[in-house]
Chains A and B, each alone.
Chain A
Amino acid sequence: MSTDYLAQAARDVPSLRAVFVTAMPDCLLYDSWLAEGSEWKAEEIASYLGDLFRANREGLKALGSWSTEMQVSIESPEYNILLKELRSDFVLACVFDRDAALGMARLYTQRMLQRIAAALPSFQVEERPRGVRVMDFLNRYAPDPHAVLLRVSLRTGLPMEQLQRPEALALDHIAQIEKTAAGILGLESLNI
């Protein structure tokens, strides 16, 4: 998926490998641009980077040092990745080759951010039901994802048919599933 405004924003940016726009707070891919020949799975990457950004935002909030100007930089052996908030409901992630100077990458990211922000639609974000978000989170992070629904069913005692429709779960069942999900992931609680 790549729409014109993203392709235009990415045009002539040196060493740029990919751009992802992630819708928050659900960490779902909104749009992406990938350099030719790339086989990356945009949905997956946008989700993980969205989660990363959210965790960073919550961490900084807990430290009392969060601001919308916050930026996350990741330096991996192959890539420099920059994450920045487009709006409260969108996050921009730009992936550059490692040889791109970080200062230049930041400059280009800022430029792209302005262009992309101007092209984004304005709408009221509707949060997905919490049950859906919990199950999505589990599917992303639980070991043995092929069996995660069965595991949740066995641990909670809730039938599979109910878990397959997480949007219709009752509040007490969602609380039960959240506790189970935290147990499966070895977390004290889910921060979603």
Chain B
Amino acid sequence: MQHIEQLLSALPEHDLTFLGSAPYVYHCHHFNLFHDQTVEDALGEDEAFSVRAQAAHDASRQLLSELVKSAGAETPAERLELAAATLPWMGHGKLELMTDAGGGRARGSYLHYGFTWREKYGSRVRRRHPADAFAAGYAAAATEVAFSLAPGSLRATEPACFACREPACEIEITEGGGHSDASLVDKEAFTQHVAAPAEGVEEAAVAKIAAGLKDFLRGLDGDERGLLQGFGVYVTRHLANYYDQTAYDTIHRVEKERPQVAGVVESLFGESGHVCVFYTFGGILASPEWEALVGPLRGEPEEIVVGCTAIARGLGFGHWTIGELVPGERLVMRSTSNYEAPFYRNRYGRSEKPRCYFFSNAARAFMQLAHKVDWSKRPRLDDALYQSLFKSDLAWDIEMTRCQTRGDALTEVVVTRHGS
């Protein structure tokens, strides 16, 4: 994928990564499914599909517009081919686009959301509504870009989905999506809402591990299905604006329409931070690649927190630092940049309260992994262990003491032992 790789750039001192001007991060299928499930729980399945597809459409259009320009793709056929080839690079599966300026169809195989939903939950629950809103929004954006249509000319639905036990995913693209008036949150906008990078505890170790991880992740190759597998999870190179737009639009709507459960939706988006740290960070810590990069894991709390901080940077989550760590008692995590705050400030302005949900809950999960997992026994990071750690034995409270969404210079969360 020479063309997409030419678009790769970074703000290395801020540990942020971009595809052209679009910020991207690595997230696993456990996080992705939980995140989207929360949007569905909050808005209902149909409305959630629209919100997710719209966010995917906006974010993908930003990426694909720049991609066709940079690749010099002139004709619709060239552009559609480029879009179809980019999706597997992102780990989202394969999409065959059969569209013209009036819309058309797309056939998906191994689409990340539908495929991994069925793999994770399919034996326990029957799904009755489609899962691939991201691919649908992507297909609509790809067609708009291919035929030089105005933003919002097209919309997409998914009448058949693999997650609903259909043999394949079918996406329909039709006219009349309506114009999205969302402002673009790009690299330039991100730079306006990050602070000068600071150093934290064990800075040299964190920076060294993060650099090694970035190198490793850059070389991660998709398989013949268009999926990226690593560390026991399906990984995506995902557009950060998709996460931010879906999360914050959902939270704002709940705050406005059903304020009595506003705290609940915040908790659930925070919970996805636990899910991510447990499966992806945990999977990386327990991997042979980690052992090769850093050495055998001893399992001491300092080592785990340092490792997790480096992983966050490696995944493109921003410049996270350890402000203070007292094993068994307290962790202060800071970020001078992350992927939540710049989006929020650009899109919605200054928040009245802290809103870096992912960052703050991830920090709590660092402490849980550092103190409640016996790494020397090489535990299986499965659902049963997750339930025991995060349902019944969560030992830490968090307080967001500073937050860039609120206009503070940096974002800070204090994690303390429950009840202390």
Question: Contacts A143-B121, A159-B260 hold; do A154 and B268 have CB atoms under 8 A apart?
Answer: yes
Chain B contact residues: over half helix, strand or loop, or mixed? helix
Whether A154 contacts B128 by the Cβ 8 Å rule is no
Q: Which of B100-121 contact A (CB under 8 A)?
A: 120-121
Contact B126 A153 (CB under 8 A): no
- A121: CB under 8 A from chain B? no
Of the stretches B167-175, B353-361, B373-381, B384-392, the one at the interface is: B384-392
By beta carbon, the residue of chain A nearest B250 is: A154
* Residues of chain B within 8 A of A143, CB atoms compared: 120-121, 124-125
Known: A146-B391, A150-B268. A185 touches B260 (CB 8 A): no
Q: Please give the number of chain B residues whose Cβ is less than 8 angstroms from any Cβ of chain A in the complex.
A: 25
Known: A143-B124, A150-B271. A160 touches B390 (CB 8 A): no
Complex partner residue of A185 from B37, B38, B125, B271, CB under 8 angstroms: B125
Q: How far, in whole Å, are A145 and B127 apart by their CA atoms in the complex?
A: 17
Q: Does A37 contact B (CB under 8 A)?
A: no
Cβ of B41 < 8 Å from any Cβ of A?
yes
Q: Which residues of B are found within 8 Å of A144, using beta-carbon distances?
A: 34, 37
Task: Identify A159's interface contact among B38, B128, B261, B267, CB under 8 A.
Answer: B261
Chain A residue numbers with a CB within 8 Å of B265 are 154
Residues of A near B121 (CB, < 8 A) are 143
Quick check: is B252 within 8 A (CB to CB) of the other chain?
no
State whether the Cβ of A186 lies closer than 8 Å to any Cβ in chain B. yes
| Smallest beta-carbon distance A112→chain B, Å | 31
Interface of A is mostly: helix
CB pair B125–A153 under 8 Å, yes or no, is no
Asked if A151 lies at the interface with its beta carbon under 8 angstroms from chain B, I say: yes
- State whether A153 touches B261 (Cβ < 8 A): yes
A25 CB, nearest partner CB in chain B, Å: 23
Across the interface, do B125 and A146 meet the contact criterion of CB distance under 8 Å?
no
Pick the contact of B264: A142, A146, A153 (CB < 8 A): A153
Q: Output the residue of A143, A146, A184 with the most chain B CB within 10 A.
A: A146
A150 contact set on B, CB distance < 8 A: 264, 267-268, 271
By CB atoms of chain B within 10 A, which of A142, A159, A186 has the most?
Answer: A186
B-chain residues with CB within 8 Å of residue A145 when the two chains form the complex: 387, 391
B257 closest partner in A (C-beta): A157
Which A141-192 residues sit within 8 Å CB-CB of chain B? Answer: 141-147, 150-151, 153-155, 157, 159-160, 184-187
For residues 122 through 154 of chain A, which have their beta carbon under 8 Å from a beta carbon of chain B? 141-147, 150-151, 153-154
B128 & A186 in contact (Cβ 8 Å cutoff):
yes
Instruction: Assess whether B264 is in contact with A154, with CB atoms less than 8 Å apart.
Output: yes
Measured CB to CB, the nearest residue on chain B to A160 is B264
Residues of A within 8 A of B (CB): 141-147, 150-151, 153-155, 157, 159-160, 184-187
In addition to A145-B391, A147-B268, A157-B261, 19 A-B residue pairs with Cβ atoms within 8 Å of each other are A142-B125, A143-B120, A143-B125, A144-B34, A146-B386, A147-B271, A150-B264, A150-B267, A150-B271, A151-B37, A153-B264, A154-B42, A157-B260, A159-B261, A160-B264, A185-B126, A186-B126, A186-B128, A187-B126
